[in-house]
Amino acid sequence: MGATISIRGVVISSRPHKDQDAIITILTPKHGLLKAVVPGAKKHSSRLAPLATPPLLGDFVLNDSKGFYYLKEGEAVESFKGLYSSFEALTSASHILEVVQDTVVDQESAQPIYTLLLYVLYDLSKHNEKYRQIVAAFEWRLMDILGFAFDLNNCDCGKPSDMPTLAFSFSKCRLYCSNVGCVAKAQDYCFVSLGCVEALRYIRDAQLERLSAFHAADYVLDDLCNVTHRYLCERLEKNYEKMSIIDSLPPI
């Protein structure tokens, strides 16, 4: 058995390994993504089994054996129990974890994404009824972290516009007013409400502990969720579909 390391991190995924074990992926601020075998994770009597259920913030002791980590000891710091009282919140958390696993590519990106993830999971666990705006806030703030910042300044044409919408250009990554000439420049776009633009600006500038602390009418939230999700999918070149499961549910 090789060296032992002690880390704090978030378990973001788990998959079966052999008959009784599991392999977990842990996001850490210093080491990025680490994979570790959890021996006996499928046994109900195993003291390590609860540590193989994402999402979970924990302290872990890992043994390095031939370049692969095995979980030796661990303790849960936060299990985000509030997520399990809402199907929508749990599905939203699953979506967020999938995106995180795809976007942490090096140690440089690990620190800010780790911090964002913790705030978002705490928020989602405590306020699961706000799952739509929490997910939208996560998606939009993540784009800034990854270098896909969108220009939220007003259209630079200088012409007055009394329209209650702006053109959100996915191809130009900026806003255009509703004047015909400006909309033509926007190319691949959709119209969004002014309230949606204000929400995007708020998310960009807010402290993380206040990231989802805004109020939005239903139509504004619809706009917001549409543009943040599409923008994220296009930039990451992947169609994330977990949130569509919620959309497909019949109304209560």
Per-residue pLDDT tens over the stretch 103-140: 998 888 999 999 999 999 999 999 999 999 999 999 99
Please check the confidence at residue 1 and state whether its pLDDT lies above 60: no
Alpha helices in the chain (DSSP H): 87-103, 107-126, 131-145, 180-186, 194-205, 218-236, 242-247
* Domains of the chain, start order: 4-78 (2.40.50.140), 83-149+184-247 (1.20.1440)
* Inter-CA distances, 77 with 33, 80, 125, 222, Å: 18, 9, 14, 35
Query: What pLDDT, on a 0 to 100 scale, did the predictor assign at position 93?
Result: 98
Residues 6+ apart with CB under 8 A from 39: 20, 21, 46, 48, 70, 71
Gap between the Cα atoms of 40 and 44, Å rounded: 9
Mean pLDDT of the chain: 94
- In the DSSP assignment, the letter for residue 128 is G
Per-residue pLDDT tens over the stretch 209-240: 999 999 999 999 999 999 999 999 999 999 99
Q: Which residue has the higher pLDDT, 216 or 158?
A: 216
For 50, how many CA atoms within 13 A lie in the half-sphere containing its CB?
A: 14
Query: What pLDDT, on a 0 to 100 scale, did the predictor assign at position 68?
Result: 87
The answer to whether the beta carbons of residues 81 and 53 sit under 8 Å apart is no
Please check the confidence at residue 99 and state whether its pLDDT lies above 60: yes
Please check the confidence at residue 152 and state whether its pLDDT lies above 90: yes
